[in-house]
Structure 1
């Protein structure tokens, strides 16, 4: 339903006029009633006085036998006073009447004023007279003879004269009302405009404010209330202008910062609609910088891995990070971080995605790996030649003792150099396999792999006189690449045995958790200081440099273990205490999780 909306002045002005007219009508109705009542009371009192005067003149003659004398007397009194006078007996018969023949008149015993007068009271009534054909006011008073009522004197006057007088007064009141309304109409219009004009000015000013014109203040006019309202709106406009200026400045600063960032920024809401996209992200994904707000991320950036990452970030409350590979005009490696976006009330409204371009770093790493692999491969030939030549000289019986000692040093160092080259080649091979899409994994029993690693370390165990205890469920299967995992276990066992005292024990314990398989290699050796633990899996890092070299280590064994763990989508951890031994834990995902990856 539509309601007709009118301006305030056209609501106030008719209201004022209607109010004045209603008040005037009420006052006129009240005054007319009072005038009518006053005239009727005056007429009633006049008729009562006349009836009492007639009663005094007719007292003692109120009998049917006196009718001949009473008739001319009553007619004379009626003509002199201009009043109809009627004498009525107690039985209701009309004794005489100043205007009509009593013989032709009805019995008046049931008339209201007569009944009231017979009871000893003054009777008054206004009704239409069938005899005279007009409305009259009747006043009847009892006539006493001692204590006995012997008759009634009734006087009457037409009320038409009263009505005519009142009608004239009504017309005068109506005319006065019209004059007053005509006089007050401009006053009402002026009052209405006085009240509505300041509001109209404020409405125009508010519309200017809504259009951004906050510099033009409102006129402070009208009543005290409208003045306070205008002052309040001007103050609001000034504060709003300052706030808008601050917001525009902050927005400009944010836009400048986002535009100058080399990291890509993408903000999406809970419905995966883009809130903000900075210049770097737009250039990376080759999308326009403008006209992206409110569009679905799938429409703008067609990268399945990024879309899955955003969906995963929206499904959880904690920050999330990962590394993604984007395919387009060129292959791009990105490190992405997702942080929840919260509103004013603390509720999440979306996520903020920060993208770091790792393409150049990955390319440098690829160049480094290729360089290391190529150099290592090229070194194998001269190392093999040196070893062959040294072995030949060592087998020659004509070589003296001094030369034998130097040849043994050359042979030992060539063996160490060969082991170092082999480890570098293994590292490069593992990294290249991961970069190429991952190693081929198959579901295998874990216990045979552990026994195979033990067999490879059997000679070292015998040499160091260290016992090895394996605790593993017989039927436990894991999805692994068998040569890689075996190599990792061999490296961990080799370190554990080398750093254990003679006669001690090394233990391999395998346990199952909800989504992980834990392979713990624990020894009772010298242990590692806490400050070395964070860097223990770095290439060529040695906690005890002198002892490590004396034991023939290359410094790459634990780095290889870390890369093997990453190739299986797992990780490697270590706990150690000096003098108490160390525990290396290889964490591998269960079969279900491996398949999901």
Structure 2
């Protein structure tokens, strides 16, 4: 395992950088030298080829092959190179090192191909004729501006390779020497840097153990000296702050011990002496920001400021209910304030105790709204029944046509009253089963459940010529309570049919993921304005009260859907665009079959 100490990391890093630098310099030098030698060889061969072209042009155009071969041999021996003369068809007519009749067609050689195009061509490859690697340069032979042949010269690259091998050996030897020199230097530098850092590490460990009076004394580079000074300053400040915090904590323990409620202690100038976490959470402030600052500066709520002033001025304890406005909802606090006195019975401040009663107030409001809504919903059919019965008793029974019409109205209102009571009982039963954890779920084919729910509403859909499409995997198995989930689906589909125009389409889809199943009911109705969406699932809440009652709704359908989803530990959501339609969704988490939904 590699040693992870700072000393070894710095030492190895320096060595690695040294080796990388030496390797890069050596590689670059060899590459540059090799390229330089190749370029010089190419230029030399190019000049020789042009010279050969000048001396063989007349013989080549005259078709004197024998003198050409003799001239190629002479030029090759004189220049220490290989000379080859090639026709436009690629046939070799003269070569300084081999009989042309025994040589292959050279029309496909890359340097020859380029020369036949009127350019200077070059290539490097192994020559099977000379058994060595050669560099070839070919130049065109022209007559009256036309390429009539090719002159090619070649030199072996053996000399260049031998030269490069020698230089490589020298560079490697020099790099080894530099590496041997750099190794002890890197060791010394790494020790000089790591030694004071290790000393500071030991003192930092003492600081962590509580010994804040220890001080660091090192002798190193200026940056390390500055770091040591900063650590010493930090230790002194931490020591002072910890002592202050300890003293403050001892003062607060007598006030805040075992307190669950929010507690705020202020002095006579309304400066905050202490505040606990509960009070900070109630009032949306940070404990650190509130300490030592004035109440108006920390709390922007005028009710809190007024209550603190009352508590400081009052001899007896004062009580008040505070309402704090929030962006999402209101928060209700029950506040009790009493003055703080010293041993001489002099008022030095006040203590404010806060209880969050938001949930209780919300439940009270919900109960009050529910009672009012139930009373209103029940009063309408009861008033109607009572009115028509009195009309019948007043003599309308003697008029058969009116009597029958009135009795039908009484019957319809009775059915409406019965539907409201049934829905209320359903809500109550769902809530009780959910709270007791008695809602047992089972694996169910979701597509079959969707089709069954749609069949309940098929007659209403046919009356309005509405098409209902189902998109659900036939193999999808979901653990849920079939009767309750079917009831929720029926409510959503019924609503979609009621508020959709004739000759439209309703899509019922199911999408599954490893963690949840989402069932959507999308219609093409008139849509719901945005301001109604947050309260759409409340009991008896209606967007259009008159139209909803005319369609026979109880105002509890969506509330039942919401409670069924919650009974499965799920939720409901709605997305709607006015004039385009609405999409209602039931989100149900996946649970094991047979497991109570309340414990999912």
Superposition TM-score, scaled by structure 1 size: 0.40
Larger radius of gyration: 1
Superposition TM-score, scaled by structure 2 size: 0.40
